[in-house]
Amino acid sequence: MFGLDLLKKRDEFSINSIIEIIVSIRRGDLQLRDRFICENMPFIMKSLYKILKRHIDIKNDEEFSIGLSAFNEAIDNYDLDRKRNFYRYSYIMINHRIIDYLRSTKRDDKTIPFSSIEDKEHFEQRYLASDAQNQYEIVELKEEILILRQNLMAFGITWDDLIENSPTHRDTRCLCIKIAKEILENKDLYTKFINTKRIPRSELVERLKIHRRTIENHRVFIIAICLVLSSNRDELKAFPAHFEERGGSL
């Protein structure tokens, strides 16, 4: 009954409690596996809704079975040693399996998420194999890039726009990062930025004593840096520092 006690005692699934639960499940506690999956059904359903952009019929939609199977698969494949976010890992597994299913049933569908970031046929062996180097960090970064792409779209910016409009000179990049930080550090500027989906040019020109054309010419890159720095994505947040220190572009 050790495994069931873990579920009863915890207020929420911390990393350590999840590891204890998964260890017990992998030792053969089938009842605990069923309970763990059952208690995480809201997470599975929410993940499916986020991926498919529609509610799932548990009885009739094949996607529900796929999501359930993917979560069960995540229990078996989660790397216990790395102690990373189990739910993010599970979401990636569900996302991957749903994409495989959609590709098999709608091969001409061009709206499937994640497709331009990774070749799904090689995703698992490259990033989820137990012996892959830095496997989970790579998977996380791929997911974070996907989220950044989606956030950029809210500002009418495509990934190609960002690549084409990233400044090549270090001084220009540093200035753009300075402008982005000014937006984020000022509540009024940040609120205006989020609500209007525009850079508050007039205020920035006055505060930083820079030319308006500087902001206009590098609007795309400044917005991208704002989105990166305002996120909770640690891997992406390292990029602005990289831009400031080195000469590479996106």
Contacts for 229 with CB less than 8 Å, ≥ 6 apart: 180, 181, 184, 237, 240
More confident residue, 148 or 175: 175
pLDDT (mean) for 107-133: 42
Mean residue pLDDT of the chain comes to: 77
Please state the pTM of the whole predicted model: 0.46
Query: Which pLDDT value is given to residue 43?
Result: 92
Give the residue extent of every domain in the chain: 40-146, 159-245
Q: What is the predicted pLDDT for the residue at 164?
A: 87
Per-residue pLDDT, 112:
39
DSSP state of 107: T
The reported pLDDT for the residue numbered 246 is 46
pLDDT in tens, 184-203: 999 999 999 999 999 999 99
From 36-50, 98-112, 132-146, the region with the lowest mean pLDDT: 132-146
Spell out a b/e string for 159-194, using b for 16 or more CB atoms within 10 Å of the CB, else e. bebbeebbbeeeebbebbbebbebbeebeebbebbe
Interval 152-167: pLDDT, tens: 888 999 888 888 888 8
Question: Residue 198: phi, psi to the nearest 5?
Answer: -135, 150
Contact between 75 and 22 (Cβ < 8 Å): yes
